[in-house]
Chains A and B, each alone.
Chain A
Amino acid sequence: MNETTNSAYTFGTASFEIILLLIGCFALGALLCYVLKKMGLCCKKSVKPTLVVEDQAESEPLDPVAQMRARIGTSSPTASYPPPVSAQMPRMEQETTYEADLRSLLKGRSSDNETISTNSNSSNNTRSTAFPSRITPSMPPKATQVVEPTVAPIVIPDEDHVDDLKKLEGIGSKIEKLLNEAGIKSYAKLATMDRDALKAILDAGGGQFKLHEPKSWPYQAELAAKQNWQRLKEYQDFLISGRNT
């Protein structure tokens, strides 16, 4: 019986089968490594960066984004406190656009509060009425009384005052015209608007404006109204870089 089969089973056939088996085993090993990596049992990254982040988390007991989420009642996988280490990694791709905007807003808020708190005595708390859509942080900065004001406070202009809204990222000539027709002609006026109201204006303007997202416009307008051009530039760069990524 072996005699009849061996005539067809040549050395070439055997070699081919062996090579196929070797390739299969090679692929199987690679597949096992891949699966183990996916399960987190293999190819783990170095531990040092994680330890550094944990140290930072211990030194910074409260995450402002988690606080903000808790205040506005949003639920997300990273909203729990303490936040997971992956949420604190300084990676843009791991942050949603909303969270990135929140972080940027809070970053700007901490610097703005320093000036606002020093101006609050003289301006008689006009800011809270000027920007009702803003959420004030629960913990004011500690060194608020020491820092000198570097940014001019918002001056509510007349109704006829017209600012160049095209300086704000995301606003072109057509949208500026649309906003002007809706009565929004100045930075201060735009800063008092909230995202939903601006979105309604855009939706009413036609289908060509429906893709525009006005979420960042009030904050940009607030910075522009306070003549904080440096911070506005940084925020716009942040918006552009976030959009490109």
Chain B
Amino acid sequence: MFENMTSRVDLGDASLELAVMLGVAFILGFLFCYLQNKSND
């Protein structure tokens, strides 16, 4: 199954999922720093 997943030629769906995951991680990092600064104030 993994080989099939990694051997896909059409990676459109996987790229979209990865982009969403990265975006969520980016927002989480921003919120983490933001809330930490708020608590320090």
**Interfacial residues, chain A to chain B (CB-CB below 8 A):** 2-3, 6, 9-11, 14, 18, 21-23, 25-34, 37, 42-43, 45-46
Contacts and interface: CB of A to CB of B under 8 A. Distances in A.
Contacts of B22: 21-22, 25
Contacts of B23: 25
A185 B9 CA distance: 95
Contacts of A28: 26, 29
A94 to B, nearest CB: 16
A29 B6 contact: no
A34 B28 CA distance: 14
Contacts of B25: 21-23, 25-26, 29
Interface of B is mostly: helix
26 contacts: A2-B7, A6-B6, A6-B7, A11-B6, A21-B25, A22-B22, A23-B25, A25-B22, A25-B25, A25-B29, A26-B28, A26-B29, A28-B26, A29-B26, A29-B27, A29-B29, A29-B32, A30-B30, A30-B32, A33-B33, A33-B34, A33-B37, A42-B37, A43-B34, A43-B37, A46-B41
Nearest to B4: A6
A26 B9 contact: no
Contacts, number: 70
Interface of B: 2-3, 5-7, 9, 18, 21-23, 25-34, 37-38, 41
B28 A29 contact: yes
Contacts of B31: 29
Contacts of A10: 2, 6
Contact of A34 (B5, B26, B33): B33
Contacts of B5: 11
A212 to B, nearest CB: 38
